[in-house]
Amino acid sequence: MRAGDPPGRLRHHAHRGRRGCAAAAAAAVPASHAARGTVARHRRGGRAAGRRVRSRRDPRSGRAARRRVSRACGDRGAARRTARPAHTRADRARSAGTRKGSSVRQAAPRALAERKQHVLELLTGSGHLWLATAAESRPHLVPLAFAYGEGDLLMVTKPGTRTVRGLRAAGQARAALGDTRDVVVIDGTTTLFDPRTVDGPLGELLDTLPMGRRVPGSVGVRLRPDRIQAWQSMAEIGDRTLMSGGRWLV
């Protein structure tokens, strides 16, 4: 231990200050501290070296020195935090925008006419949908290919399936298109038919489906929309209904 070095934990803090924070080393032990004789001395009698004894003149000197060490190192830590790239804060702000109560502004809701046009584009583009049915109080959900013609959604499936049994029992179903960021939900009444008896434009639409009219014993499903809801964000939830009672509201 050199002259002027603080004993015990103060010496440990001062050593850490000299190694990692020059400002902390300077703040930990004032130059006049040893001169005033306020540096505590080691006690004798078997106590391990390095134990600190408070100064008789200023019992709070140890606490003050520790505060100076913490303050000096804290200033350096703050400088490192402020030196971080600005893009990290922007990334955090964008990710916070997905949480409830975020101050990030959401996109403005689309007009009803724009949403209707978007729904018609999804329907006429055909593709696949999720069809939900219920038979004997047991819900059932399956993906089915569909085509859109004359205001109805047309599908073809195999006979004897839970979907067919549920449609025969209830006569209604719910279809969903899109994903969680572009939702279209269609509720309507359903009828079953033999695809081989359909001709003209609707028959041609059925031929575009994977099963079509070629599979013997296949069952056609006609879903006539009664209510259509569509939204892309929370801002559009309030007026998400575009069709009610089978009539477009816009």
Cα–Cα distances (Å) from 125 to 118, 195, 211, in that order, read: 11, 21, 18
The pLDDT of 69-84, averaged and rounded, is 56
Tell me the pTM.
0.58
Q: Structural domains in the chain?
A: 8-83 (no CATH), 112-248 (2.30.110.10)
Which candidate, 9, 107, 114, 104, places its Cα nearest to that of 63? 9
Residue 125 CB contacts under 8 Å (≥ 6 apart), including other chains: none
Residue 166 CB contacts under 8 Å (≥ 6 apart), including other chains: 133, 134, 135, 140, 173
Q: Are 204 and 137 in contact (CB under 8 A)?
A: no
Mean pLDDT value across the chain: 76
DSSP assignment of 69-102 equals HHHHHHHHHHHHHHTS-HHHHHHHHHHHTTSTT-
pLDDT at position 37 is: 47
Separation of alpha carbons 227 and 163, rounded Å: 20
Residue 249 DSSP symbol:
-
Structure-model confidence comparison of residues 98 and 182, the more confident one: 182
The pLDDT of 161-174, averaged and rounded, is 94
Q: What percent of the chain has pLDDT over 90?
A: 49
pLDDT at position 40 is: 46
Maximum average pLDDT range among 3-12, 25-34, 103-112, 131-140: 131-140
Q: Are 59 and 24 in contact (CB under 8 A)?
A: no
Residue 236 DSSP symbol:
G
The number of beta carbons lying within 10 Å of the beta carbon of residue 232 is: 19
Give pLDDT tens digits for 179-201: 999 999 999 999 999 999 999 99
Give pLDDT tens digits for 16-55: 545 555 544 444 445 444 445 444 444 454 444 445 545 4
pLDDT at position 209 is: 93
What is the phi-psi region of residue 245: left when phi exceeds 0, alpha when psi lies from -120 to 50, beta otherwise?
Answer: left
